[in-house]
Chains A and B, each alone.
Chain A
Amino acid sequence: MQHGKYRFIVGFLAAPLALYAVFVIWPFVQSIYYSFTDWTGLSPDFSMVGFDNYARLLDDDVFWKSLQHSLLFALVLPVVTIGLALFFAFMINVGGRHRKGAAISGVRGSSFYKIAYFFPQVLSIAIVALLFQFAYNPESGAINSALKAVGLGDVQPLWLGDPDLALWCVMAVLVWSTVGFFVVLFSAGMASIPKDFYEAALLDGASRVTTFFRITLPLLWDTIQSGWVYMGILALGAESFAVVQIMTTGPGGPDYSTTVMVLYVYQSAFRDGAAAYATTIGVALLVVTLAFAAVVMKLGRRERLEY
């Protein structure tokens, strides 16, 4: 089988790779090419301008702000989402009281929680963003009304209207809408960890915290790592764009406090008629995304466990 293996692989992969090249690689090449032009996106003629767009990028405060926010998204969102999801998944699968006949079990009503957590995943992100936009309404929204109802009428934040809070409000929505997916993903991962491990550990007197860090986490590492990359890309890409575009002041405000790179790409290309500059930001976004993936892969590299 060793002989002719590559020819065999190539034979199978030619068609998908061709599609991939045309629809993924080629647009990349084009984007990079356009970033050296002054193309407006509204007419077919343009000329080469060398590194002008890149020089402008380095001098653009809004770009640096959007980069900063995107990086914050890519760091905070995975940590919070995956942390929460791990906690919930652990409680659902392993964290419950001991019951007769089972070494480990989830908390009471865990199957209900599993569905409840997954529920936001069914809603499109645009709908989620709209719903939260209403909830964040400072004048008659759900959150401030609830605050009023419990006697906190003096605490009526502006939420999305406050530059110090807006970015966190947006992040909270993303966490809310994605955490369920990871709960289910990690639950599936945990379900495939043999129960004997837990049994043995518990017999030896290990606490729940210890079993989590010594058994669950190491055996789940692969899943967590892909979840991390996935979540990071989500935070840098489409999902963060959708919530910022739909929910925030401006969008991207107040005072640039929520602008992210994808939003800036969109605004440059489709509002300002500066498609070439947009592709330049796109190239920067590509670099950030690749760097993020590389860092996660590098940091996450561990000895694989066999069981």
Chain B
Amino acid sequence: MGSTSGHSNSGLGRRDLIKRSAALGLVTIPTMGFLSACASGDGGAGGSKVEKGKVTKTNPLGVNETAALEVVIFDGGFGQQYAIDAEKKYNAAFPKAPKVKHKATQKIQSELQPRFNGGTPPDLIDNSGAEQMDMGVLVGKKQLADLTPLLDAPSVDDPNKKVRDTLRPGIVEMGQFDGAPVWILYYAYTVYGVWYSQTALDRLDAQYPETWDEMLALCEKAKKQGIAGWTYAGKHPYYLPFSLYPFIAKIGGREVLDSIDNLEPNAWKHPAVKAAFEAYYELYKKGYILKGTPGLDHIQSQTAWTKGKALFIPNGSWVENEAASTMPKDFNLAVAAPSGLDASDKMPFGTIWASGGEPFIVPAKAKNVEGGMEQLRIMLSEESSKNFTTQVKSLTAFNGGTDGIELTPGLKSGVAALEKAGENVVNPRLQDWYVKLQKEQIGVAGLGEMMAGRLTPAEAISKIQGFADKAAQDSSVKKYKHQ
């Protein structure tokens, strides 16, 4: 450990050299070298497209029968088997094409961003999960192919019906950003709402409450037995909108949500928003929220809920799969549309939020654009859709596909909720148009703070309106409007 200081020669000593380079290295290495990994490429070097094939009755998109196809699937809650099954069908339809190149990953962005930058993306991508690439940016930078040819092609099951007409409500609109082109096809169909255990309600001798007064009364009844009324993913408070947004729509009508999505000035100051916020805040005020909820993440809150510590949780239909390991056998999972406020509500009870999940995209610079679309067309057949529903307990964009297969309780209840809703399905778009605004600003900094009791509804609303106004003015954020 001893050292000799004071070199007599004035040159660069060995120690000095080592010391200086070590210090330099120490300072520089960890800071931001990682960004080098995503340095942008030169673009134009991209691949040449394959030649288009002949359009026939069985090949309405004109797929090149010998061209290779490359598919990248997000390997998340839905796994990848459904895609592999559909790829086999592609190969059966085009026996001259090489086996479909299949890749499943959770790291969509890390793996594909360099390929987009290099101009050599795969032909079909399930752009989902925590590493989802920002759709708004992809669209804005013209990286995606317009899927209109696919939607106008005849469906696999009925050549007289276009693919467009076999889809559930909202799917086509969700794929549009500005104007007619459809950039994304959401394959899964998610039902959002208030999830609960029918068994737990039976034990309390209760029905799902249709009005807010009934909701409060039920929560009071549960509280007396030591059960909390509600819990939610406190660390991800952007789960709250799953029941809150359709609640707002029910009170004030669909236009309120549309104006919120359109970032219109004072959209959040609408009386319906205020009423909904105050109703939720009352849950906190009266102590109906499970203690400690603001510190729970989604899994922890779901576990507390499946253990019967709370009755209701705002969530999406994936919860059936996600909470399966902790859900008791007799849980009897069910979903309901948000309870209404009172008789003056603009929309009927049953108004629910349902929308597409698992966004599939075909890159504009893909080599085999037609092949990517054809693969989607195959996936949207009744057979493939049923296969998906059986495997992963989720509906697909294909309208139907539930006959003749046994549905799990949650799925069954989801189908029933959709039937009850009929036309009254709302589809707020903030979470795909303005991710940061929805999750971090409205969710964490607004709703999360209000439900933890640190903001009043009025304060939360003006804070959120401030965020929305700022996003509206931010020229670096691309804006979208409801058509």
Contacts and interface: CB of A to CB of B under 8 A. Distances in A.
B235 A285 contact: no
Given A229-B26, A255-B449, A306-B4, A44 B42 contact: yes
Interface string B15-54: 0010000010111111111011011111100000000000
Given A230-B26, A255-B444, A282-B35, A144 B292 contact: yes
A244 to B, nearest CB: 12
Interface in B281-306: 290-297, 300, 304
Contacts of A9: 12, 17
Contacts of A6: 12
Interface residues of A, number: 80
B134 A137 contact: no
Given A31-B32, A43-B141, A307-B2, A138 B291 contact: yes
A69 to B, nearest CB: 15
B32 A272 contact: no
B135 to A, nearest CB: 9
A282 to B, nearest CB: 4
Given A9-B17, A297-B23, A278 B35 contact: yes
Contacts of B235: 160-161, 248-250, 253
**Chain B interface: which size bin?**
35 or more
A46 interface: yes
Contact of B133 (A42, A230, A285): A42
Interface in A265-287: 265, 267, 269-275, 277-279, 282, 285-286
Contacts of B4: 306
B181 interface: no
A208 B42 CA distance: 65
B213 interface: no
Per DSSP, are chain B's interface residues mostly helix, strand or loop, or mixed? helix
A204 B445 CA distance: 61
A162 B294 contact: yes
Interface stretch (A21-29, A105-113, A120-128): A21-29
A24 B35 CA distance: 10
Contact of A44 (B9, B40, B294, B444): B40
A66 interface: no
B317 interface: no
Contacts of A273: 133-134, 136-137
A94 to B, nearest CB: 15
B40 A39 contact: yes
A253 to B, nearest CB: 4
A289 B27 contact: yes
A253 B440 contact: yes
Given A42-B138, A160-B235, 13 more contacts: A31-B36, A43-B141, A44-B116, A44-B119, A161-B294, A229-B26, A237-B30, A249-B235, A252-B444, A253-B445, A270-B109, A275-B35, A304-B3
24 contacts: A5-B11, A6-B12, A9-B12, A23-B36, A24-B29, A24-B33, A31-B32, A40-B137, A41-B137, A43-B137, A44-B42, A140-B304, A156-B291, A158-B295, A159-B295, A160-B235, A161-B293, A233-B30, A254-B294, A254-B449, A255-B444, A273-B136, A293-B23, A304-B3
Interface of A: 2, 5-6, 9, 20, 23-24, 26-28, 30-31, 34, 38-46, 56, 133, 136-140, 144, 156, 158-163, 189, 192-193, 219, 222, 226, 229-230, 233-234, 236-238, 248-250, 252-256, 265, 267, 269-275, 277-279, 282, 285-286, 289-290, 293, 297, 304, 306-307
